[in-house]
Structure 1
């Protein structure tokens, strides 16, 4: 079975082309399942469209869900189309996000930490001038939030769990056992993590998470799934077979798919 649970489209403002284009690309790449999971609106804001270049407007989410459901019917028999969302994780607004998502028949929710200590994890200059101790604390704060997201009960998948290395490859070498402790929390919470292949397009030049973290994930019994994090149709399913082979080499035997927020483990 071939699938991709992490894809975007033009509503978020920084991806290109329509949902249909991503579905057609998935068919061309012989996928069995395509999950549409665009960025969640900034629900905590009184503004309808707080960051047009980052996420869709709050008022756009119902039409987004309806379009995916219509395409699901249209493509039935050719490919399975699933309705998802990549949700920001703001602990102080979690109840608001949870209540909002309950209005829609989501097949899965990806919980992604994009902001730590008030700044984007992808902010390229956020590391400038920090001491070794401050860098260590930042990494620990990042993984503390990921652990909180795992325990929240809202998410079926955790997105790109070492993406903070994206524009700062040295992140991986910061000495702390925070990542390992967080993997144990993720296992206890029984939430899956994705292998996200979009890191290859950042400075780090590799997948999220790293090979080392995937080895530790297996050790702790963490479930895994796949997502390209495609922001253009040609990246749908990107490196799927390479990821599958890598997981087999590490020792994984199965990975997860999702329907109606229920996890199903399928052989690699």
Structure 2
């Protein structure tokens, strides 16, 4: 069974194509399951759409849900369409986000840390002038937030858990945060959720998946489940490198991966 839980579309402002285009792409690629998971609105902001190039308008969120559910029904005989969302994680806003999602029948919610200390993890300049000790502290803080997201009870999938390396590949080589990483992986396992193998890292400076093989090996050690997400922002990236990821997980020693239906874990043998 082939599945992809992480796709975007034009509502977020930085992806192209309609939801329908991603579903058709998944069908053409021989997938049985496709998850739609566009970026959540900024629920706490006073403006309806403070950053049109990053996330959808708050007022458009019900329309997004309705469209996915309509397409789920339309394509039910050809592919299973799952209702998801990629949610920002702000520790001080978690209850507002939880309340905002409650009315809707999500199959899963991806929790992603996109900002730390108010700065995007993809900001190319955030590392300028930082000492070795400051770099270690930034990495520790990042994984502390991811651990908090795992413990929040809101998410079924944690998105791209080493994406700070996206435009700063040396992030992967910063040592000194191993304890924080291990505690984060233990939290994922304890909460019976998953991390994704996200193949969009190949489109960034780091040129590889999130997370790295070393993190995946640690995840296996702690009994963490994994899932697959292309993080496609164009329809023809749906399922990108699925077969290669499957093979690599087998080589590392994983026996299964998972997806979620109505927030219940569905196990798929590798």
Q: Same fold (TM over 0.5)?
A: yes
Residue of structure 2 equivalent to 1:190: 192
Per the TM alignment, residue 148 of structure 1 is displaced from its structure 2 partner at its CA by 0.1
Taking the aligned partners of 1:162 and 1:5, their CA distance within structure 2 comes to 18
Q: Within 5 A, what are the aligned runs for 1:198-213? A: 198-213=200-215
Q: Aligned-pair distance for 1:180?
A: 2.3
Paired residue secondary structure (2:85): strand
* CA shift digits 1:210-259 (9 cap, x unpaired): 01100110000000000000000000000000000000011111111111
**Segments ≥4 residues shifted beyond 3 Å:** none
Unaligned runs of 5+ in 1: none
- Mapped to 2, the partners of 1:63 and 1:218 lie a distance apart of 39
1:76-115 aligned at under 5 Å gives the runs: 76-115=76-115
Provide the secondary structure at the position in 1 that maps to 2:42. coil
Give the paired residue count.
268
Residue 179 of structure 1, CA deviation: 1.7
Name 1:12's counterpart in structure 2.
12
Q: Note the 1:53-202 alignment, pairs <5 A.
A: 53-176=53-176, 177=178, 178-202=180-204
> Which residue in 1 is equivalent to 2:236?
234
Measure, in 2, the Cα distance between the counterparts of 1:21 and 1:133: 46
CA RMSD, 1 decimal: 0.6
Q: Tell me the SS of whatever aligns to 1:147.
A: helix
Residue in 2 aligned with 1:245? 247
Match in the other structure for 2:218: 216
**2:257 aligned counterpart, secondary structure:** strand
Structure 2: give runs of 5+ residues left out of the alignment. Answer: none
Distance in structure 2 (CA, Å) of the matches to 1:261 and 1:195: 19
What SS does the aligned partner of 1:108 have? Answer: coil
Q: Find the residue that maps to 2:171 and give its secondary structure.
A: helix
Give the aligned partner of residue 264 of structure 1: 266
2: CA distance, partners of 1:193 / 1:86: 13
Residue 264 of structure 1 and its aligned partner are, at CA, apart by 1.3
